[in-house]
């Protein structure tokens, strides 16, 4: 199979997983004998809540736009993806240093892991294979 085809399939799968987070309520899939409502409410406190609405909108647009931009090999899409992922990692580090935690279902955990793995593969292919020439 052609590396460009593999790259595009990875981008589509990654984008579908990302968009599915908007529609799937994975917290409702948590099966526990303990009432976790208080823990789930407490876990939703994040640094992102202090952002202005404009910053949130700009980040959301950037995060959603990376998939189609990568699919069509837009020149600056790789750097945009790195910026989005760096922001996500930085927010996660700040949140965890503030004592925040995340309560997720097994489905949410595995979807997040699959999305992270596909991001790594996308970046590796975009920078380390002949696909990098398509971004020029």
Q: What pLDDT score was predicted for residue 44? A: 65
Query: pTM for the full model?
Result: 0.86
Q: Could you please report the per-residue DSSP string of 16-44? A: HHHHHHHH--GGGG---SS--HHHHHHHT
CA pair distance 43, 27, nearest whole angstrom: 12
Tokens of 80: 């945009």
Tens of pLDDT, residues 11-28: 999 999 999 988 887 767
Mean pLDDT, the chain, rounded, equals 89
Q: What pLDDT score was predicted for residue 104? A: 77
């Amino acid at each position: 199979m052609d590396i460009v085809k593999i790259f595009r399939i990875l981008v589509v799968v990654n984008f579908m997983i990302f968009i599915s987070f908007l529609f799937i309520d994975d917290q409702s899939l948590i099966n526990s004998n303990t009432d976790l409502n208080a823990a789930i409410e407490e876990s939703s406190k994040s640094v992102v809540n202090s952002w202005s609405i404009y910053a949130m909108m700009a980040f959301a647009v950037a995060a959603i736009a990376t998939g189609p931009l990568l699919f069509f090999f837009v020149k600056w899409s790789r750097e945009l993806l790195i910026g989005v992922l760096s922001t996500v990692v930085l927010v996660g580090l700040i949140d965890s240093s503030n004592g925040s935690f995340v309560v997720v279902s097994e489905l949410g955990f595995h979807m997040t892991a699959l999305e992270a793995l596909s991001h790594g593969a996308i970046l590796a292919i975009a920078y380390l294979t002949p696909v990098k020439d398509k971004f020029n």
